[in-house]
Copies of this chain bind each other. A is one copy, B any other.
Amino acid sequence: MIKVAIIMGSDSDLPVMQEAAVMLDQFGISYELTIVSAHRTPERMYHFAREAEQSGIKVIIAGAGGAAHLPGMVASLTHLPVIGVPVKSSNMSGLDSLYSIVQMPPGVPVATVAINGSKNAGILAAQIIGVADASVAEKVKSYKATMEKEVLQKAGKLEDKGFKSYLEEQ
């Protein structure tokens, strides 16, 4: 059953937003991924958000850039947790996206991750689902353990070779 919805304001956000999908695949969490524009398809957004709960969706990941209203508007239309991904904009480096998403008024939170932090949105969705699903929680734990191991390996390699050889091999 589909547990997470990944939505974005435009297909130009897809190269960034796909990283959330890749993480969910890795955690074995089913998801749907589509385009929902707050500004160009407001009716679609309305119905999507209102019906998300009944479709069995547990967490919504919403990415948008510029005057990024999608995450906040979806959050206003559902009681499900909404994760907001500020997509880097061409003119303000994503500061406009970040402020538009994170500075929500009291009553309607959006769980905001870093600019272009779509991968972390996927992990956060898994952490949230893991609150109730121990098998997902285990997968997050083991993901973190793997990540640690990889850094330790790189550290070992760097110490062994010295930084000059290490850089040459990159």
A residues whose Cβ falls under 8 Å from a Cβ of B: 9-11, 14-15, 18, 21, 32-44, 46, 58-59, 65-69, 72-73, 75-77, 79-81, 83, 88-96, 98-117, 119-121, 123-124, 127-133, 137, 140-141, 143-144, 147-148, 150-152, 154-155, 158-159, 162-164, 166-167, 170
**Could you list some 16 contacts between A and B, CB below 8 A?**
A34-B155, A35-B151, A39-B75, A39-B107, A40-B151, A66-B105, A67-B100, A67-B114, A68-B100, A69-B73, A81-B127, A100-B103, A107-B119, A108-B120, A108-B144, A111-B112
Copies of this chain per assembly: 8
Question: Cβ of B101 and Cβ of A67 under 8 Å apart?
Answer: yes
CB distance from A112 to the nearest CB of B (A): 5
